[in-house]
């Protein structure tokens, strides 16, 4: 990448002003300044488990009690978190786009709902949402919204990795969250590793990426597919890609702009 494009706010501004259709791909880093742990690196552990080892259908089948404890912890953090300056800057900019007849779509890998709570309306949630559950009964599969905290009594006081409660007995399936319709066990409505993304969601995301004339990538390590291929595919078509990440180096050398640093500071400056 040419160094002139490092933190080139004026150059980015010119491209931004000319763009008509903006796709914004976000990852855990956009919510880090709201106090939500990222997945990889130091923040990516819950107790002794790597987060990505618990976010699998195999982990849930083997130990639904443990996985629900992990998600109770994650729900508690997300429900109590507040949108930060990066979420707010994106919501404000979407509003500006709407007034000017431009479009802005956020394609997020996050499941915390903070973009919507900041005021963004056009959001595609690639990996599901913490406030939703899905019935595990293959004849039912009912998807429901649920903001209860805790989601069931048996999870009360559980899940905090800072507390010395690692050795509590497992919660019986009958006491874990159950389906409103058929009473079977429900699971978090989250796309776990090895699971396919929802077809409609994937179509909406591809549409945003394939039609954009500017792609903005915020706070993602760009290692999890299919999201990891979105920005590179836009760059392949010659669309400028601007990355905002704590990392000094861009995730892909084809990206046009790189803004290193906390996106709660860099993004409002770039979009303001």
The annotation places the binding site for Zn(2+) at 135, 140, 179, 182
Binding-site member from 16, 22, 25, 32 for ligand BJW (CB under 6 A): 32
Task: Please give the C-alpha separations between residue 27 and each of 70, 235, 259, in angstroms, as whole numbers.
Answer: 19, 18, 15
Residues 6 or more apart in contact with residue 226 via CB below 8 angstroms: 197, 202
Stretch of residues binding ligand BJW (CB under 6 A), selected from 31-39, 95-103, 148-156, 163-171: 31-39
What single-letter DSSP state applies at residue 42?
G
Among residues 246, 252, 268, 269, which is the contact residue for ligand BJW, using CB under 6 A?
A: 246
216 CB contacts (<8 Å, ≥6 apart)? Answer: 22, 23, 24, 25, 241, 242, 243, 244
Strand order across the 128-135 sheet: 143-145, 128-135, 186-190
Residue 34 as a binder of ligand BJW (CB under 6 A): the answer is: no
Handedness of CA 54, 56, 61, 62 (dihedral sign): negative
Stretch that binds Zn ion, among 36-44, 101-109, 171-179, 231-239 (CB under 5 A): 171-179
Label residue 44 exposed, middle or buried (CB < 10 Å: 0-12, 13-18, 19+). middle
Is 123 an interacting residue with respect to ligand BJW (CB under 6 A)?
no
Q: Based on the residue annotation, tell me whether 115 is a catalytic residue of this protein.
A: no
Q: Does 247 bind ligand BJW (CB under 6 A)?
A: yes
Q: Does 50 participate in binding Zn ion (rule CB under 5 A)?
A: no
Annotated catalytic residue, options 87, 127, 131, 258: 127
- Cα–Cα distance between 32 and 51 in angstroms, integer? 15
Task: List binders of Zn ion among 138-167 (CB under 5 A).
Answer: 140, 142
Specify the residue, 167 or 248, whose C-beta has the smaller distance to ligand BJW: 248
Tell me which residues are annotated as active site: 127
Please give the residue ranges that form the binding site for ligand BJW (CB under 6 A). Answer: 27-29, 32-33, 38-40, 52, 55, 74, 109, 111, 127, 190-196, 219-221, 223-226, 244-247, 262-263
């Amino acid at each position: 990448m040419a160094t002139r494009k490092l933190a080139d706010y004026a150059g980015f501004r010119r491209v931004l002003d000319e763009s008509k259709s903006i796709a914004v791909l976000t990852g855990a880093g956009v919510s880090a300044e709201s106090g939500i742990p990222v997945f990889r690196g130091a923040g990516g552990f819950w107790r002794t488990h790597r987060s990505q080892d618990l976010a699998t259908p195999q982990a849930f089948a083997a130990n639904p009690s443990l996985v629900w404890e992990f998600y109770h912890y994650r729900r508690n953090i997300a429900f109590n978190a507040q949108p930060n300056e990066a979420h707010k800057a994106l919501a404000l900019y979407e509003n500006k786009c709407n007034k000017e007849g431009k479009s802005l779509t956020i394609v997020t890998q996050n499941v915390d709902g903070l973009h919507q709570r900041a005021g963004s309306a056009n959001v595609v949630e690639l990996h599901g949402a913490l406030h939703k559950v899905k019935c595990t009964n293959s004849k039912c599969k009912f998807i429901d919204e649920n903001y209860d905290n805790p989601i069931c009594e048996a999870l009360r006081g559980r899940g905090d990795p800072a507390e010395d409660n690692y050795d509590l007995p497992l919660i019986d399936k009958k006491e874990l969250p159950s389906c409103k319709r058929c009473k079977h066990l429900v699971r978090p409505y989250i796309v776990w590793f090895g699971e396919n993304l929802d077809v409609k969601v994937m179509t909406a995301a591809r549409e945003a990426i394939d039609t954009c004339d500017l792609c903005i990538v915020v706070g993602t390590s760009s290692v999890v597919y299919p999201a990891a291929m979105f920005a590179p595919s836009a760059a392949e078509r010659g669309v400028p890609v601007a990355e905002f990440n704590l990392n000094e180096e861009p995730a892909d050398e084809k990206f046009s702009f790189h803004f290193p640093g906390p996106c709660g500071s860099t993004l409002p400056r770039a979009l303001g």
